[in-house]
Amino acid sequence: MPPVAVLEVLDVDEDGVAMARPSPATDDETRPRIRVLPDNRAGPAIAAGDRILARIEKVGPDAYEARAMRRLPRETNRTVVGIYRRVGGRGRLDPTDRRIRTAYAIDNRDSMGARPGEIVRAEARPGRRPGLPRARVTERLGRGSPVATASLIAIAEHDIPDRFPDEALAEAEAAAAAPPGEREDLRDIPLVTVDDESARDFDDAVWAEADPDGGFRLIVAIADVAWYVRPGSALDDEARERGNSVYFPDRVVPMLPEALSNGWCSLKPGEDRPCLAVHLRIDPEGRKRGHRFVRGLMRSAARLTYGGVQAAIDGKRAPGGSEAPIEALHRAFLALNEARRARGTLDLEIPERRVSLADDGSIARIERHRTLDAHRLIEEFMIAANVAAAETLEEKRAPCVYRVHDSPDPKKIEAQHEILESFGLSLPRGGALRVGHFSRLLDRVAGTPEAEQVGEAILRTQAQAVYDIANIGHFGLALRRYAHFTSPIRRYADLVVHRSLIAACGLGEGGSDGGGRERAEATAAHVSSTERRAAAAERDAMDRLCAIFLADRVGGEFAATIAGITRAGLFVRLEETGASALVPMSGIRAEPLRVDARGIRLTDRRGRSVARLGDALQVRLDEVSTRTGSLVCSIA
């Protein structure tokens, strides 16, 4: 944050302390926490929705304090998403954003007929009156089960488009089978798809066969979305606006209408489908010898799941008699994985949270999901195809939207030195760090209780991967050139790469040069933004689902790890579910405590350590808000 900035006030508590965010707001990944201290000078106090010019001071990692210099005119009335209630015969809006701690009064004439419990979008009304600030409902978003409500709130709060224009739907419904034309016939090759059991769209298929010299021939075939979604069409405009599909436990907000994503662009078993495929040849050590792209017609031989493939890898019987193709795929994967290890890539084992729903739609369990070899197998095939796409476009001097990952910021590395040193690990100080420096640390702690904390410390040093037309390479994968090619159903960047390959390789209709450098640059920035938006929405929905799941376990004790330290208290991760919770300072010790400048350690008045980032501890769950997805704990 700069020393002086324009802020939008989110909320003001009874002590006059406000919470604010930069104006215009940044995405959730980079939005800092800003406390606006009370101003005792004469004049009207600031209120929720105000825009102020403020002097900023950094007080911790991504945490700031501000003092208002002057109030600025409001740009527009503030939009608030919340749950509509009736209290004392009047309407009330309880915001779902945990940063907004005030409710809004809604007059009956401004309710749009909303019913209690409905999720609504409202516009805060200007002016200051006694009592609650006022708002009027501008959109009724519906209601449903607790799980459905969590998804609806995330979609609304992050402004994710979830309704297709009629013209785009009509174009998708009018789609038909692609003619064979000059496509390469791949229908006799037993390509298979491998996905989660719950997947409904299958956009990539793989095949492998051993070469006599010990290497392998591979094919990665991807749904030919470019055939159906042409530049300048209503489908294309909507797909670009969405940027990507967004996944929630109970639904998907797709980038393309279902007629395509689950229909003509889904590689269903036994059905002819157009595809863009890359033939790859690798040596016994997994290094690529050559590749070529074709436009083909394929017929998936089987729809496999990660669980079934893993069972076959573990020596159990594969589903549908598919042992032979899985064996060849696995052997090719081992070769590709050997090449990956030789490059020294950054393999962070950070478990993701998975929600399992019961038949009645309730939450059966939330588990921290670890990656299987079956997942890694498909990942390595996809990486090989993505590298080939970037190389081909570069060789042909064709436009390319690269997937880039910059090297770590030295300031971020410095902030994690103390954590790493506490585990007896260190990174070289000064000079450029290579990915091998990080991978060696991970190898040293592999299989130990400290592995996850070390992985998260290393993750905090890393830049965020983005899309860009300027190639700076991919630090984490240790690759000089990389693009996304393998998921055009759910990522617009992949569709752009497909079009460029089609044009550069002379593969027929639907190719495009991207509309010029300026548009390609704008597209790369836009889809990077929509990717962050999707990640934030998925994360917020997961937080609410964790709160719903834990709501009847208030008072219970949980194993936790300290993931953040701020003046507000400790942010901890509950090991069982991966849920995040706040332990306020009052729930730690009665005496005043101090956070160090880097947000790594909490100390008492004598400088003795009370808590440190990465520490394991037991916490008691004290409060749960299913509306905002927030959890409050205390030290057990």
- What are the pLDDT digits (tens) for 487-497? 999 999 999 99
Contact 100, 47 (CB under 8 A): no
| Whole-number pLDDT of residue 176 | 96
Q: Is the dihedral of CA 446, 449, 451, 452 positive or negative?
A: positive
Among candidate residues 312, 442, 436, the one with its CA nearest the CA of residue 372: 312
Q: Which helix (H) or strand (E) holds 367?
A: strand 363-369
> What is the pTM for the complete model shown?
0.85
pLDDT band at 415 (very low <50, low <70, confident <90, very high): confident
Greatest distance between any 2 Cα atoms in the chain: 86
Taking each helix axis as running N to C, give the angle between helix 410-422 and helix 451-461, from 0 to 180 degrees, rounded to the nearest 10: 160
427 has pLDDT over 60:
yes
Among candidate residues 626, 143, 575, the one with its CA nearest the CA of residue 366: 575
Contact 443, 450 (CB under 8 A): no
- State in Å, rounded, how far the first CA of the chain is from the last one: 36
| Whole-number pLDDT of residue 203 | 92
pLDDT band at 69 (very low <50, low <70, confident <90, very high): confident
What single-letter DSSP state applies at residue 132? S
When the pLDDT of each residue in the chain is averaged and rounded to a whole number, the result is: 89
**Strand bridging mode 402-404 / 363-369:** unpaired
- What is the residue whose two structure tokens read 């926490």? 33
Average pLDDT value for residue range 220-227: 98
Question: What is the rounded CA–CA span in Å between residue 292 and residue 506?
Answer: 12
What single-letter DSSP state applies at residue 391? H
Contact 331, 222 (CB under 8 A): no
127 has pLDDT over 70:
no
66 has pLDDT over 50:
yes
Residue 632: Cβ within 10 Å count:
18
Tokens linked to 358: 């019961």
| Whole-number pLDDT of residue 424 | 84
Average pLDDT value for residue range 328-337: 96
Question: What is the rounded CA–CA span in Å between residue 513 and residue 504?
Answer: 8
| Whole-number pLDDT of residue 321 | 55
Residue type, 42: A
Helix (H, G, I), strand (E, B) or coil at 326: helix
Share of the chain above pLDDT 70, in %: 93
Question: What is the rounded CA–CA span in Å between residue 537 and residue 614?
Answer: 26
Q: Residues 459, 461, 464, CA angle at the centre, nearest 5°? A: 75
pLDDT band at 613 (very low <50, low <70, confident <90, very high): confident
Share of the chain above pLDDT 90, in %: 58
Taking each helix axis as running N to C, give the angle between helix 306-313 and helix 323-343, from 0 to 180 degrees, rounded to the nearest 10: 90
| Whole-number pLDDT of residue 286 | 96
Contact 251, 151 (CB under 8 A): yes
292 has pLDDT over 60:
yes
Residues 6 or more apart whose Cβ sits within 8 Å of residue 255: 239, 242, 243, 244, 245, 261, 489, 490, 491, 492
pLDDT band at 586 (very low <50, low <70, confident <90, very high): confident
pLDDT digits (tens, 9 = 90+) for 254-275: 999 999 999 999 999 999 999 9
Question: What is the rounded CA–CA span in Å between residue 494 and residue 402?
Answer: 10
Query: Phi and psi for 533 in degrees, rounded to 5?
Result: -60, -45
| Whole-number pLDDT of residue 429 | 76
Of 62 and 552, the one with more pLDDT: 552
Residues 6 or more apart whose Cβ sits within 8 Å of residue 288: 280, 281, 282, 384, 387, 388
Contact 135, 79 (CB under 8 A): no
Burial class (CB in 10 A: 0-12, 13-18, 19+), 15: exposed
Question: What is the rounded CA–CA span in Å between residue 53 and residue 624?
Answer: 35
**3-to-21, 287, 338 alpha-carbon distances in Å:** 14, 50, 49
pLDDT digits (tens, 9 = 90+) for 145-165: 899 999 999 999 999 999 999
| Whole-number pLDDT of residue 353 | 86
| Extended beta strands in 430-477, E state | 466-468
pLDDT band at 110 (very low <50, low <70, confident <90, very high): very high
Residues 6 or more apart whose Cβ sits within 8 Å of residue 458: 346, 348, 416, 420, 438, 441, 442
- Domains of the chain, each with CATH number or no CATH: 4-72 (2.40.50), 79-143 (2.40.50), 166-405+467-541 (no CATH), 410-462 (no CATH), 554-635 (2.40.50.140)
**466-to-30, 475, 482, 549 alpha-carbon distances in Å:** 14, 12, 11, 33
- What is the residue whose two structure tokens read 């010898």? 289
pLDDT band at 42 (very low <50, low <70, confident <90, very high): very low
In 344-432, which ranges are continuous DSSP H helix? 373-395, 410-422
What single-letter DSSP state applies at residue 320? G
28 has pLDDT over 50:
no
Cis bond before residue 24 (omega within 30° of 0): yes
Q: Residues 313, 314, 316, CA angle at the centre, nearest 5°? A: 95
pLDDT band at 359 (very low <50, low <70, confident <90, very high): confident
Residues 6 or more apart whose Cβ sits within 8 Å of residue 461: 408, 409, 412, 413, 415, 416, 438
Cross-strand pairs, 11: 19
Contact 216, 281 (CB under 8 A): yes
Q: What is the CA radius of gyration of the chain?
A: 26
Residue type, 129: R
| Whole-number pLDDT of residue 168 | 97
**Of 40-54, 202-216, 604-618, highest mean pLDDT:** 202-216
**Strand bridging mode 302-305 / 192-195:** parallel
Question: What is the rounded CA–CA span in Å between residue 393 and residue 548?
Answer: 48
pLDDT band at 452 (very low <50, low <70, confident <90, very high): confident
